[in-house]
Amino acid sequence: MQLREAADVLGVHYQTAYGWVRQGLLPARKVGRGYEVSDADVQALAAERNLGREPARRIQVRDYSAQADRLYSAIVSGEETRARQGLARLADGVPLVDLCERVFAPALRRIGDGWAAGQVSIAAEHRASAICERLLAAHTRQPPGRPRGIAVVATPPGERHALPALMAAACLREDRWLVHHLATDLPVDELTRLALEVRADLVVLSAATPQAGHRAADAARKITAAHQDLAVLAGQSGDSLHDLLQHARNTRGPGVEPE
């Protein structure tokens, strides 16, 4: 629908709806001189407002790398409270996908570089990733409204890096997918069985090493060969969560409205 129509549905002035589009709170597509928004996104925003929640103000973060450095210095020394306090200031005003890509991921890569250089112990690396898991869980939200579709998120067999799949699950939830997060290292047959059982539209496999990336691609081929209706997205190190969300929307589960 047109943005003017959406403003009527939401009971706000056109300028208010336009402001939400500019702040990224209401996804919209520029068509000619106007904007088009999907019915599903308008309904989700309306549901939030019915619960008495106005869309949160987005914060413009001037220096993401300073935020990532701050998170790094807190997690590398095991200062969970400091890490939590730093993120609390950001998390309400920044989309989770940006928090993951621009704050968590660089901090974790630095931990990995430190480990490879012998400067960060295995124990300190475990402590840092465990802190990140708890922080991410705390900032995961499932907005109200009809889900876009059902997604199952896991890692390929042998892959014990949990955080990329956790990030993928959290970002999909924030984008209104109903997510079954199966954590790490799952045999492909088990994963497929559960995906069919919950009538998933989409399976996401996240890998952190090139070897696991190959296993994810093999698993994706195996699943789609046997079940053509099940879309599978395999991601590896360096792939973007923004792309994941875009590709997931393009798979168009039954909950997805045409845009």
**Minimum distance of ligand B12 from residue 224's CB (angstroms):** 14
The answer to whether 255 touches 147, Cβ cutoff 8 Å, is yes
Using the minimum distance from each CB to ligand B12, give the nearer residue, 7 or 216: 216
**Minimum distance of ligand B12 from residue 104's CB (angstroms):** 6
**Minimum distance of ligand B12 from residue 86's CB (angstroms):** 17
Using the minimum distance from each CB to ligand B12, give the nearer residue, 64 or 115: 115
Per-residue burial over 104-115, b if 16 or more Cβ lie within 10 Å, else e, is bbbbbebbbebe
Angle at 27 between CA 23 and CA 28, to 5 degrees: 100
Using the minimum distance from each CB to ligand B12, give the nearer residue, 49 or 227: 227
Using the minimum distance from each CB to ligand B12, give the nearer residue, 172 or 256: 172
**Minimum distance of ligand B12 from residue 68's CB (angstroms):** 10
Nearest-angstrom CA–CA distance, 38 and 23: 17
Distances (CA, A) of 235 to 28, 55, 67, 132, 213: 26, 30, 25, 20, 7
The answer to whether 231 touches 201, Cβ cutoff 8 Å, is yes
| Residue ranges binding ligand B12 (CB under 6 A) | 100-101, 105, 108-109, 111-113, 115-116, 125-126, 129, 133, 158-164, 167-168, 204, 206, 208-210, 233-239, 241, 243-244
**Minimum distance of ligand B12 from residue 154's CB (angstroms):** 10
Task: Indicate the length of the chain as a whole number.
Answer: 259
Using the minimum distance from each CB to ligand B12, give the nearer residue, 43 or 73: 73
Residue 173 one-letter amino acid: R
Using the minimum distance from each CB to ligand B12, give the nearer residue, 20 or 104: 104
**Minimum distance of ligand B12 from residue 4's CB (angstroms):** 35
